[in-house]
Structure 1
Amino acid sequence: MDNIYLLMLIAIAVLAVADIVVGVSNDAINFLNSAIGSKAISMRTIMIVASLGIFVGAVFSSGMMEVARKGIFVPGQFYFDEIMMIFMAVMITDILLLDFFNTIGLPTSTTVSIVFNLLGAAVVMSLIKISGTDEHTFADLGSYINTKKAIEIIRGIIMSVFIAFTVGALVQWVSRLIFTFHYEKKIKNFGAIFGGVALTAITYFIFLKGLKGTPYYNDLKDLVEGNELYIIIVSFIIWTLFSFAFQKITKKSVLVVVIAIGTFGLALAFSGNDLVNFIGVPMAAYHSFEAWTNSGLDASVFSMEVLSKKVPAEPLLLFISGAIMVVTLLLSKKARTVAETEISLSRQNDTHEKFEPNVISRGIVKGTSWLADAVNTIIPKATQDRISGSFEKPNVIITKDQSIDAPAFDMIRASVNLMVAGVLIAIATSMKLPLSTTYVTFMVAMGTSFADRAWGKESAVYRVAGVLNVIGGWFGTAIGAFIAAGVVVYLINWNKEVMIPILLLLTIAILIRNYLTHKKSSKTTIDEDSLTYAESSSVQGVIHESAGNIANVVKRGNKIYTNAINGLAKQDLQLLKKNKKQVDKLSQEVDKLRDNIFYFIKNLDESSVSASGFYINILGYLQDMAQSLEYISKVSHKHINNNHKKLKFNQIKELKEVDNKIEILFNDTKAAFDSRSFEQIGAIINEKTEVYDLVKEKIQKQVTRTRTEESSPKNTTLYFGILLETKDLLNATMNLLEEYHNAHDSSVEPAKINTEEE
């Protein structure tokens, strides 16, 4: 029986390694997003600087380890066997929760996760103890849980969301007002002072965050405490002189140094503060096991009062943890997926938005717009114009795809992100609050992007919806952690020998499945039938570039139409469901092409403006085709999914006749566009009459059937719907072909005339 606790300790140690891996993958966003988003330094340099910060922070880890030992519950109220069950439940649920957020690419807080895991497991274990004795009632739960500290932690976390956003927005607004988006000249003149302020703030943060609470702080305590003001003044002078010299010697902006040192500082803070979230519980479990082994008492009677005492961190364990964190940072693909979420929400340019707007985001945007208009009625027009001048962006037109490769924001914003996040975490640390570094850095980034007017009319509802999704995920983390840890500790308490192996195997299976799912979804393989943007600036060029898109739409449309008819004939719900996904994908790709029209027109030569009219018409017809296919696919799926009557044999037979004719028409069209044999279009257009007349004939037959023999209103509605939408599909296809035919003839004719004249 005693061996079960040794096995539990080993399992907790292994889980700790996995927890570090999934935790770093999520929290890497804290210190990577500003450097990656600004592209001020190379990815290789970013990783080297961040790795150094992580390793130094881990080795000089702060004294926050006490949170796992006595910050949430009162250790003296529990026995050794109960504590080990709590710790086991916490580690299992923490890993699964963080890995889930990594897989879906949302940043969450490892601090909130560990706090609510501990709280949930401790509360359920306390309730189990209370229910098994007559001495205590549920009203005595407060004697088991450190409610004062838990409430203090939760309050600090919630307040940090609002404070970080507000302070980040205010500092960024002032910084942009001073430096503007055309900051290169002003940085040359005032960069040394800005660098001095920013680097001083970061240094002050590193001292407070990196040293306070470490075993080495006592040696420096007399030098630091009471001399904070002198440290700030001396740091400012040294860093200002350094910034001036750096700009003069290297001819580069000092902002590069600010971003590099800020990244180092945040990485150091992350590992120093958040290491408790990964190894605090395993270290507490190790010390508990050590104390119990030396006691010689039974596990069910040995009190864990020993955890109330302060125990120094193990330097070797900190060293190993730091090494694991560095390796994870360098190898983890999930870390970059999570970072992409924040960067996309704070990107200055238009981009492909990850989140869909909702009622709340629309309401917030409308309310904010109304408030801004109200404030503008008070501020003098001259002041408004002067402020607006500072926020005037460089006039560079790039597509949404190009914006992904461009810097998400400039170095001014990146510097402010790092500086403000560092200062806020430093203040919280001085107040001994175990703050969530994720919440602070994320909300600072959102505040600075809001102040920088990155959330304009074009993107505000999407960005606000994204922020709400992330914040909602944070609350989900807390609730999920509390409930999951409580359930797991209940199961373990029910039967340790049976449930622990089952839960560990289940954890391994889920981690492997999530890894494979993420690996599959992160592959950026491009389908050979995917639609591409037109980049040519001449009519002739656009004609040839668009030909590939038309061939692909016709090919995919032919398959979608055939699958819809086959699905109805066989009543194959899976085929129709898959078909619906295919047509949704096609519609999204056509919509993306339409979204790109603005950039296409902007990049046209003056002599080729006529290409825009042709391209817009082509996209309109492609969208009409996609909408017709979408309707046919969805009504077919809905009919079978609702278990309505099967179409009659004659109806299926007639639809197959239409499908066969359309297949011939679409195959001929695809062949002409694939080979760029545009002279064949005239002959293909003539085929339309035959197919069109066939569809009209089938409609008339159904009218006759309905009057004499048809007994199902649903069947009649479906049949008419498919045939009428087929007519629209044929019309859109023919309009597209005629547009192409006319444009090709008009673009070729001048070339023939020029040749004849020569």
Structure 2
Amino acid sequence: MENIYILMLVALVILAVADIIVGVSNDAINFLNSAIGSKALPIRTIMIVASLGIFIGAVYSSGLMEVARKGIFNPGEFYFDEIMVIFMAVMITDILLLDFFNTLGLPTSTTVSIVFNLLGAAVVMSLIKISADETKTLIDLGSYINTEKAITIISGILLSVGIAFSVGAIVQWVSRLIFTFQYERKMKHFGAVFGGLALTAILYFIFMKGLKGTPYYKDMKGFLEGNEMYIIAGGFVIFTLFSHFFQKITKKSILLVVIGVGTFGLALAFSGNDLVNFIGVPMAAYHSYEAWSAIPGTDPTTFSMDILSKKVPAEPLLLFIAGAIMVITLWFSKKAKTVAETEISLSRQSETHEKFKPNMLSRAIVRGTSLLSRGMSSIVSKSTQERIANSFQKPEAALINKDQSLEAPAFDMIRASVNLMVAGVLISIATTMGLPLSTTYVTFMVAMGTSLADRAWGRESAVYRVAGVLNVIGGWFFTALAAFIAAGVVAFLIHLNKEVMVPILLLITVALLIRNYLAHKKKSATIIDPKRLKKSESNTVQGIIAESADNIKNVVYRTNKIYTLVLKGLATEDIKALRKGLKGVEKLESEIEDLRDNIFYFIKNLDETSVRGSNFYITILAYLTDVAQSLDFITKKSHKHVNNEHKKLRFNQIRELKEVDNKLEALLTEIESIYENRQFEKIKSITDQKDSISEFLNEKIKKQIERTRTEESSPKNTTLYFNILLETKDLVKAIMNLMEEYHNSYRKE
């Protein structure tokens, strides 16, 4: 019997290491996004500062393991056997849930995950105990669960979301009103005061949150507590003077120091306090095993776990190891970069590729906000509106395309400093008041609030950004629900038979982690598809014509492949082939849409002498869109026919469609060869085939009309066949128009 508990303890240690890795990958966004997004400091400097914060916070963390032992449930009501089941279920579920969110690139809360995992597993184990005791009912569930503490944690987390967003928006709005986007000049006059305020707030946060619970805090407690106002006032004076002399001597902005110190402070607080989310459960399990094994021969099913109610300090060696693992993960985790990209993209000042698609709720929120804004405008005087608008006037910058905008800073140093300062202050206040909250939620919502106030969510991007925020928030609620249910289910399974279920669940966990790792690696691989459509980067007519040739060639090639695939899938009723065709068309349409979205930047970047090239480029894109739309229509109609289990096409229809496919394949292959070899003088031979191909398709239509009048018995088949032929005519027409436009422009050059 003892062997299974040793196995569970070893498994918990291994899971703890894995949990640190996936946890840091998710929470790295908390302390990296402001520094990385503003690009105020070199990435190597940012990583070193964050690493120091993480390591120091982890090594000097102590007394923070109470949540895992008694924060959610009353340990004295459970026996050693039951406690080990709860802890095992929690760790398995926690690591899978966090890794799932990391793979998606969505930030979630390790605090919420561990709290609801503990709650779910403890509730299920309590229900098992109640069902086995005839003297107890569901009303007794309250004696097992620390309901007051659980409700306090949950309500604190929910409340922090709204407060963080609102405070972040207000502070950023006021900051931008004072400094504007041309803040360099204003910083010379007000930079020292702003730097003093920001550094005081951040360093107060470091002491009150980052170092609270460490051995050093006990020595400082008598001095800090009760003298907060004096410390803040003194700190403000000292740091204001420091900011003044720093700017005078170095000729650099104090915002660089604010961002560096703020990043260090958040990293320190994260590792010093959120470490409980990763190793609190395994350490509680170790102390439980230590207490049980100290009395040989004790029955694990009757050994009470009252010992967990006592405060047990963390092991220094384990904290050192945990800190080292966290730092290594920060440097090498690709998933951490993926999660950070999500928040940065949602808060980016400039327009760029939007990661999320708008939904009904995001549209309703944006529409409602726009109406409210217009209503407020009627109340505020025009002169006041103009003064405010001038403060939010962005400097003229060189217009670049969306891909290149990803390399530019996502936002300026004013917003980065406000992000760090407000997040630090809010976490400090909550800590002082004894309110639990999620550092992930606070930092994310502050960043979203400052983005809104900074007008980063304009008419061009608002619905996408709001949809992204709603997706992330929805993911938070999903985390709580999924953690509660999944941990409960796993606890129930382990309780049925530990010897069988623990190895099985561990194997499943390993398999899922490997699968997610491979899926993320494949997704993040930077292999460029040679057939992918490319944006025009030339600013001359000749360059535009030459670059468009590759796009035309690739569209023709992909059209040929998809058309053949769809007709074969239709003939053989192969639904997988038709689905593959749908995906191919969807990808093609998406790439063409990206090219159309870039037209604004394309025209702005043209030379004065090459403006004529814009008309050619727009016309070419219009014909490429027509090709994709015809292909989309044929593919969707064919997929719908087979998916709905309608009658298979008749033999004559399949044979004739094969003839059409062969004819079109020969045409498209010839076009591809012309563009591949740059033999544009041969385009005339392609356009000369226009009438013959049209007549060929008309003949097929006439034959189907005759069949319909005499022998055809399926209305669905007839409709589908006509749809394919008529849309193929439109497809050929679009291709011929494309050839004529390119040929005419090529000859002029």
Q: TM-score, normalised by structure 1?
A: 0.97
Aligned match of 2:193: 193
Conservation of the 8 A alpha-carbon contact between 2:77 and 2:144: yes
Gaps in structure 2 of 5+ consecutive residues: none
Aligned equivalents of 1:273 and 1:377: distance in 2? 48
Aligned match of 2:326: 325
Aligned match of 1:344: 345
Aligned equivalents of 1:676 and 1:187: distance in 2? 57
Shift of 1:410: 0.7
| CA displacement 1:71-90 (0-9 Å, x = unmatched) | 10011111111111101110
Structure 1 window deviating more from structure 2 (627-636 vs 582-591): it is 627-636
Conservation of the 8 A alpha-carbon contact between 2:181 and 2:393: yes
Aligned match of 2:273: 273
Aligned equivalents of 2:6 and 2:285: distance in 1? 10
Shift of 1:65: 1.3
Conservation of the 8 A alpha-carbon contact between 1:555 and 1:670: yes
> Residue type of the partner of 2:221?
K
Aligned match of 2:513: 511
Q: 1:468 aligns with which of 427, 451, 470?
A: 470
Shift of 1:678: 2.1
Conservation of the 8 A alpha-carbon contact between 2:106 and 2:342: yes
> Residue type of the partner of 1:588?
S
Aligned match of 2:729: 727
> Residue type of the partner of 2:100?
F
Aligned match of 1:646: 648
Conservation of the 8 A alpha-carbon contact between 2:57 and 2:211: no
Aligned match of 2:114: 114
Aligned match of 2:371: 370
Structure 1 window deviating more from structure 2 (467-476 vs 191-200): it is 191-200
State yes or no: 1:568 paired with 2:599: no
- Structure-to-structure mapping, 1:213-292, within 5 angstroms: 213-292=213-292
Shift of 1:48: 0.7
Structure 1 window deviating more from structure 2 (48-57 vs 287-296): it is 287-296
Aligned equivalents of 1:141 and 1:215: distance in 2? 37
Conservation of the 8 A alpha-carbon contact between 2:62 and 2:313: no
1:405 match: secondary structure: coil
Shift of 1:189: 2.3
| CA displacement 1:321-355 (0-9 Å, x = unmatched) | 10110011111000000111111111111111111
Q: 2:558 aligns with which of 546, 556, 559?
A: 556
> Residue type of the partner of 2:676?
D
> Residue type of the partner of 1:500?
V
1:717 match: secondary structure: helix
Conservation of the 8 A alpha-carbon contact between 1:561 and 1:659: yes
Conservation of the 8 A alpha-carbon contact between 1:208 and 1:426: yes
| CA displacement 1:139-192 (0-9 Å, x = unmatched) | 111111100000000000000000000000000000000111111111122212
Aligned equivalents of 1:622 and 1:219: distance in 2? 72
Aligned match of 2:301: 300
2:689 match: secondary structure: helix
Structure 1 window deviating more from structure 2 (565-574 vs 341-350): it is 565-574
Aligned equivalents of 1:633 and 1:626: distance in 2? 10
Aligned equivalents of 1:127 and 1:431: distance in 2? 34
Aligned match of 2:611: 609
Structure 1 window deviating more from structure 2 (199-208 vs 675-684): it is 675-684
State yes or no: 1:662 paired with 2:664: yes
Aligned match of 1:143: 143
Aligned equivalents of 1:534 and 1:35: distance in 2? 32
- Structure-to-structure mapping, 1:26-45, within 5 angstroms: 26-45=26-45
> Residue type of the partner of 2:420?
L
Q: 2:632 aligns with which of 627, 630, 633?
A: 630
| CA displacement 1:561-587 (0-9 Å, x = unmatched) | 111111122222222211211111111
| CA displacement 1:357-387 (0-9 Å, x = unmatched) | 1111111101111111111111010000000
1:295 match: secondary structure: coil
> Residue type of the partner of 2:615?
G
| CA displacement 1:117-149 (0-9 Å, x = unmatched) | 000000010000011012211111111110000
1:153 match: secondary structure: helix
Aligned match of 1:84: 84
Aligned equivalents of 2:586 and 2:172: distance in 1? 40
Q: TM-score, normalised by structure 2?
A: 0.98
Runs in 1 of length 4+ with deviation above 4 angstroms?
none
2:351 match: secondary structure: coil
Conservation of the 8 A alpha-carbon contact between 2:9 and 2:285: yes
Q: Percent identity?
A: 72
Structure 1 window deviating more from structure 2 (330-339 vs 224-233): it is 224-233
Aligned equivalents of 2:587 and 2:230: distance in 1? 62
| CA displacement 1:37-79 (0-9 Å, x = unmatched) | 1111111111111110000111122533111111100111111
> Residue type of the partner of 2:629?
Q
Structure 1 window deviating more from structure 2 (244-253 vs 27-36): it is 244-253
- Structure-to-structure mapping, 1:172-191, within 5 angstroms: 172-191=172-191
Conservation of the 8 A alpha-carbon contact between 2:119 and 2:484: yes
Once superposed, what is the RMSD of the aligned Cα atoms? Answer: 1.1
Q: 2:588 aligns with which of 574, 586, 592?
A: 586
Shift of 1:199: 0.8
Structure 1 window deviating more from structure 2 (138-147 vs 245-254): it is 245-254
Aligned match of 2:430: 428
Conservation of the 8 A alpha-carbon contact between 1:665 and 1:688: no
Aligned equivalents of 2:476 and 2:715: distance in 1? 49
Distance 1:231 1:384, change over 3 A: same
Conservation of the 8 A alpha-carbon contact between 1:61 and 1:210: no
Equivalenced residues, count: 747
Conservation of the 8 A alpha-carbon contact between 1:273 and 1:434: no
Aligned equivalents of 1:398 and 1:207: distance in 2? 43
Conservation of the 8 A alpha-carbon contact between 1:62 and 1:212: no
Aligned equivalents of 1:416 and 1:175: distance in 2? 8
Conservation of the 8 A alpha-carbon contact between 2:211 and 2:269: no
Aligned match of 2:380: 379
Aligned equivalents of 2:315 and 2:249: distance in 1? 44
